């Protein structure tokens, strides 16, 4: 089965994210429409409630006027009740109570007509009681022609989110109806959608963060694949060199001419031992880093005399082939001892010295100093090499990072300094670097006594 590439995973994740966010947007829009429809139904109930309260006030006024007229009139004539046809008013036919109020209003309005401003005031109190804080306008309108007969506000304004109630008929003779318009209830709708919006926002943010994190992981994996391929290519080349040298030396040793010449024999044996040691050190360094990542590295701690350790390293590196190497040592005392793993620390310092030689010109000057500072032992290794560019200093201890400039063309694994930092920190120590391009480099290793 063909494996899915990181780019394909990114496209699939982007499509899924698009559908998730699209679904979220649709749900939010649908809920907005549902909330708006609910507010429309509520505005119908509000205008009905306000109309009933306003009618109750007019009914009391009507009774007072009727009593006053009956007192002042010498002869009171009884008028026959007026009949009305409500067959076309379906909203009233289905509501006996509302039909009663409608009929009452038809009679009372002859003497006490609807007061639109009083109705506006009553509507305001009903809105506040229901927790609706928005601009509004009460309108008396002709439902057939939609002509506005009266308005509670002279300039109610307009809004894209205006919510209007249905027409509430109050006069079938003169074709009058009431309507409540909530001018800008967007804030009310959003408030009622608060939980839905918050949940949707959180889920959308989580989806975006997850997609961003996935992109970072894929980018990191792609980078690691490149690093792995470069590392395997480099390590194959680097291991090939000591193996080839070892193979050549052994072939020469098998020839009688080299076996009979003692000086040549010793030289070939020395070169073979150096190649074997280089090969062994490289393998040990790779294995140690792997153990650190898996948490399996253990330190075989013992007292280490650093002056003795560096004298051995000095003797080893001063006979470096091709380059002229001068190593100077400055010891505070000849008996500076730390506790640690002698093999791991020896390889750390060997890496630093080897780097100083590799990243220098033909004549190499290295100054190694060891001193005590409080509870720390400070080892300084300073060279006259090419130096490290300032922009690369923060990254030199990263795995697979190469600190050299491009024009040096020096082969390496990019794990040496990472190995040094890892092993020093395993010994509860610290490592730092001072360098300027073209002015050499100084590594300082601090180890507890």
- Looking at residue 330, its pLDDT comes to 92
CA–CA separation, 105 and 363 (whole Å): 113
In this prediction, residue 229 carries a pLDDT of: 72
**Selection from 339, 330, 271, 327 nearest residue 299 by Cα:** 339
**Residues 55, 104 contacting (CB under 8 angstroms):** yes
Quote the DSSP letter at residue 166. P
Residues 270, 29: Cα–Cα separation, whole Å = 81
Phi-psi region of 49 (alpha: psi -120 to 50; beta: other; left: phi over 0): alpha
- Helical pair 342-358 and 306-317, crossing angle rounded to 10 deg: 40
C-alpha dihedral (301, 302, 306, 307), degrees to nearest 10: -160
pTM of the model: 0.48
Q: How far apart are CA 52 and CA 102, in angstroms?
A: 9
Q: What is the pLDDT of residue 269?
A: 77
pLDDT truncated to tens, each residue of the chain (449 aa)? 456 676 777 778 788 878 888 888 888 888 888 888 888 889 989 998 999 899 889 888 888 877 766 666 544 444 445 555 555 555 554 566 667 777 788 888 888 888 999 999 999 999 999 888 888 999 999 988 889 888 888 776 666 678 888 888 888 778 889 999 888 887 787 888 888 788 888 888 888 888 888 888 878 877 777 767 776 666 676 677 677 777 877 777 777 776 667 777 777 777 777 777 767 777 777 777 677 766 777 888 999 999 999 998 888 888 776 788 899 999 988 888 999 999 889 989 988 998 888 888 888 999 999 999 888 999 999 999 888 888 888 888 877 666 654 555 565 556 778 888 988 999 999 999 999 888 899 999 999 97
What stretch(es) of the chain map to CATH 3.30.565.10?
298-448
> What local confidence, expressed as pLDDT, does residue 302 receive?
92
**pLDDT score, position 329:** 92
Sign of the CA dihedral 436, 437, 440, 444? positive
Q: Where are the alpha helices (DSSP H) in 6-149?
A: 6-72, 90-93, 96-108, 116-129
- Which backbone phi and psi does 360 adopt, to 5 degrees? -135, 170
Q: Phi/psi at 180 (nearest 5 deg)?
A: -105, 130
Task: Supply the pLDDT for residue 108.
Answer: 85
Fold of 298-448: Heat Shock Protein 90 (3.30.565)
């Amino acid at each position: 089965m063909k494996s899915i590439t990181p780019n394909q995973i990114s496209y699939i994740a982007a499509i899924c994210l698009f559908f998730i966010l699209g679904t979220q947007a649709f749900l939010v829009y649908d809920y907005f429409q549902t909330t708006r429809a609910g507010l429309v139904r509520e505005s119908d109930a509000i205008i009905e409630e306000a109309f009933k309260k306003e009618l109750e006030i007019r009914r009391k006024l009507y009774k007072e006027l009727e009593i006053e007229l009956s007192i002042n009139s010498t002869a009171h004539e009884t008028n026959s009740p007026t009949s009305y046809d409500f067959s076309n008013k379906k909203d009233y036919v289905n509501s006996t109570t509302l039909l009663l109020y409608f009929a009452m209003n038809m009679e009372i309005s002859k003497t006490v007509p609807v007061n639109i401003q009083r109705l506006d005031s009553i509507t305001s109190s009903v809105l506040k009681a229901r927790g609706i804080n928005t601009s509004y306008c009460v309108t008396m309108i002709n439902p057939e022609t939609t002509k506005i007969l009266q308005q509670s506000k002279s300039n109610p304004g307009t809004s894209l989110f205006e919510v209007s109630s249905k027409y509430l008929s109050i006069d079938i003779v003169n074709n009058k109806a009431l309507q409540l318009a909530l001018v800008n209830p967007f804030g009310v709708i959003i408030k009622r959608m608060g939980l839905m919006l918050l949940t949707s926002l959180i889920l959308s943010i989580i989806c975006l963060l997850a997609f961003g994190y996935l992109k970072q992981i894929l980018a990191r994996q792609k980078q690691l694949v490149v690093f792995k391929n470069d590392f395997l290519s480099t390590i194959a080349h680097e291991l090939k060199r000591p193996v080839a040298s070892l193979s050549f030396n052994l072939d020469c040793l098998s020839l009688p001419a080299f076996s009979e010449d003692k000086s040549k024999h010793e030289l070939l044996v020395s070169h073979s031992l150096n190649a074997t040691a280089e090969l062994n050190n490289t393998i040990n360094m790779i294995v140690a880093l792997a153990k650190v990542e898996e948490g399996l590295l253990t330190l075989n701690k013992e007292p280490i005399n650093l002056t003795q350790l560096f004298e051995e390293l000095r003797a080893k590196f001063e006979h470096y082939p091709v380059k002229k190497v001068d190593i100077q040592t400055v010891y505070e005392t000849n008996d500076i001892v730390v506790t640690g793993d002698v093999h791991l620390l020896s390889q750390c310092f060997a890496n630093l010295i080897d780097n100083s030689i590799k990243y220098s010109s033909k004549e190499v000057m290295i100054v190694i100093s060891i001193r005590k500072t409080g509870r720390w032992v400070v080892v300084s290794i300073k060279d006259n090499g090419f130096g490290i560019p300032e922009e690369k200093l923060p990254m030199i201890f990263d795995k697979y990072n190469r600190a050299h400039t491009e024009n040096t063309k020096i082969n390496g694994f990019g794990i040496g300094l990472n190995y040094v930092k890892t092993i020093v920190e395993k010994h509860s120590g610290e490592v730092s670097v001072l360098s300027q391009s073209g002015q050499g480099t100084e590594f300082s290793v601090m180890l507890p006594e």
